[in-house]
Structures are given as structure tokens and as C-alpha cells.
Amino acid sequence: MTPYDAASPQGQAPLIDGFGRTVTYLRLSVTDRCDLRCVYCMAEHMTFLPKAEVLTLEELDRIATAFVGLGVRKLRLTGGEPLVRKGMMELVEALSRHLKTGALSELTLTTNGTRLTEFAGRLAAAGVKRINVSLDTLKPDLFRKLTRGGDVAKVIAGIEAAQAAGLSVKINTVALKDDNAGEIPDLIRWAHARGADLTLIETMPLGEVEADRTDQFLSLKDVRQSLESFWTLEELPLNTGGPARYVRIAETGGRLGLITPLSHNFCEACNRVRLTCTGTLHTCLGQEDASDLRAVLRAGATDEQLADAIRLAVDAKPKGHDFEIARAKPAVARHMSTTGG
């Protein structure tokens, strides 16, 4: 693809929302499609978006570049599964120019790992330093159940390929009371033995899915108390730009992240926004706020008009989400796969 180079005047005012938080982190979804069907993320029979509704690679590049020009320092590419998007690596390689200029401090992605054996080398060559890999179990049968047909061996091979290419890997694990609760210590040991951090995530009420998330909710406060009965957890001041709070486990020598949108709200320091693959900007994961940047682009907006639209959306960023696992309906109707990681 041909990179789009938007004018990015030096000294532009940073993106600051109405509550004084500076936005420096964009999570950019490149597709709503995925080669897995995780039960808490997607409906079993998903209806995917028509191609015309999805941003082109050039449009994705232009919006990302506009955010970089407005002070965004971290860009995470998500999906669906980003590596199933045709031309994905060309987009990564184009966006890496912002790393070379120093305008962007980090370009990374979240993946299910199934295609890392193919793309890990190119990701590393493009300047990607670390990636997040979603993995909820090491048990082949349970993995097949949770992903509706996936092969955990492919993911493990992908993680090994990523590390061999020099990428730092963090494992993301959704805590599920009825499925992997008892396996969490083994997952942590497995990740730490391979030099990978692991982050536990509480299940979030996003999208209409067949599973009952009320029954599956597992408070990480309870998980932490359980882990502390046999491990020593040391608080860390680490901040990677996301919502995780980190501890070091003395016995394994590795880091454990805890993302607790339900049992502990983390909105007061939120520095991120999400753009869907259709160009809808969500400034809060747990609210139905939305700004249509695709319409702005396709109406022929200038760089200045696009920047103004972004500023207007960020200024209206809500104070926080209001997730409540016990509700009959999800907090928002959109699926995580369409929101962007």
C-alpha cells in the first residue's frame, strides 16, 4: 500500500478529554473477522460486515496517522483477529514509519496466535517489539470447546515463533469460573517458564452471546487471594499504557497483570480510545458513545477537519464505564470482536 502522510504540525495541542485525561493510546481494529469463535467474544454464527463498510488499508493508515499527529504515542492493532486481514502486514510496515521518526513510541498488536508462525518475522522486522496473545487454556479439548474448534497447538507454535523472532510475548487469559479457574496457576507457571508475562482479565458484559456470563464471572480479587495462599505477590509500579495492575510472583520470577473492569474500576487514569474497522470511534469500552470517522473521511475531509472530528469525540469521552455482570442484558450490544480488543 502507499503510506498516507498527513501533515502533523509540531507542537499541536495534545488530545485531552473533558475530565483532563490525555489520550495517548489508540486501539485500532482492522477487521471484525476471526478464525476462532470464542464463546465469550462472539456469537456462534456471526454475521460479518460487508467489505464496503470496512475501512480500506489507506483509510486505516490515514486515521492512525491523524491520531499520531495529535499526540498518540502507542498504537495497538486488533480485530477480530488482525492477522486474517488481507494486506495486514503492508499496513504494519507502512505505520512503522512513525516509529522511525520517533512520533510513535510503540506499534503492537493483540492476536489469537494462530498465524504467528507465518508473520512473526515480518512483525519483528517492521519494528514491533511486543505482542499480546490470547490464550485461556493449555488443554486441547477445553481450547477446542472455548474457541469452537480451535487447535491450541497452533497457538503454542505461534508463541514459540514470535519469541524466536525476538518479540516479547504477553499472554492474555480471560478468567472463567466454570472452565479455567483451576488451571490459572498452571497457566501462570507455563507462561513464566517461557519468559512471558501473563495478564488475567475478568469476563466483560459485551455483546449478545449464547453463554451466561453471570455464571462464568470470576472475581480477580478472589483469584489473587487464592494465589497469595501459596505464592508471594509483590506490587509493581509498572504501567504499559493499559488498564492492568501488575505484581511480580517471587516463586516464578514472572509478572502477573490483573484487569478488573467489574471488581475494580480503572477509569480514572484511562488514556485510550478505540476505533472499529468501520471507522467508529469509541472513547469508552463500556458505553455506547460513538463518532463516525468513516463518514468524515468519505465526505472528503481535510486533515484539519479530520483532526477536529477526533478532538470533538475525545472531548466527550465519558468519565467511566458502568459494567455490571448481573444485568440481564450486556452493558453494550456490540461484540468485543467488532469493538477492537
Q: Name beta bridge partners: 277.
A: none
Secondary structure (3-state) at 140 = helix
The four Cα atoms 79, 83, 88, 92 give a dihedral, to 10 degrees, of: 90
For residue 42, the model assigns a pLDDT of 78
Q: Confirm if 27 and 340 have CB atoms less than 8 A apart.
A: yes
pLDDT at 266: 53
pTM (2 decimals)? 0.87
Supply the pLDDT for residue 329.
46
**What is the chain's pLDDT, residue by residue, as a tens digit (341 residues)?**
766 654 444 457 889 988 899 999 999 999 999 999 988 887 777 888 999 999 999 999 999 999 999 999 999 999 999 999 999 999 999 999 999 999 999 999 999 999 999 999 999 999 999 999 999 999 999 999 999 999 999 999 999 999 999 999 999 999 999 999 999 999 999 999 999 999 999 986 554 544 555 677 899 999 999 999 999 999 998 766 567 899 999 999 999 999 986 555 556 668 889 999 999 999 887 666 789 999 999 999 999 999 999 999 999 887 765 544 444 444 445 445 455 55
| CA angle at 167 for the pair 31 and 251, rounded to the nearest 5° | 115
How much is the pLDDT for 316? 85
The amino acid occupying position 162 is: A
- Name the CA dihedral angle for 335, 336, 337, 340, rounded to a multiple of 10 degrees: 130
Cβ burial, residue 223 (10 Å; 0-12/13-18/19+): buried
Label the pairing between strands 106-111 and 168-175: unpaired
Query: Domain spanning 25-339: which superfamily?
Result: Aldolase class I (3.20.20.70)
Instruction: Take residue 120 and report the three cell numbers written for it.
Output: 512473526
DSSP category for residue 42:
S
Domain boundaries, the chain: 25-339
Return the closest-CA partner of residue 233 out of 267, 200, 266, 270. 200
| Res 312: pLDDT | 94
Three cell numbers written together for 101: 521518526
pLDDT at 8: 44
Position 325 scores a pLDDT of: 47
For 35, what's the count of Cα atoms within 13 Å in the CB-facing half-sphere? 15
Helix, strand, or coil here: 162? helix
Contact criterion met (CB below 8 Å) for 20 and 79: no
Confidence at residue 334, expressed as pLDDT on a 0 to 100 scale: 45
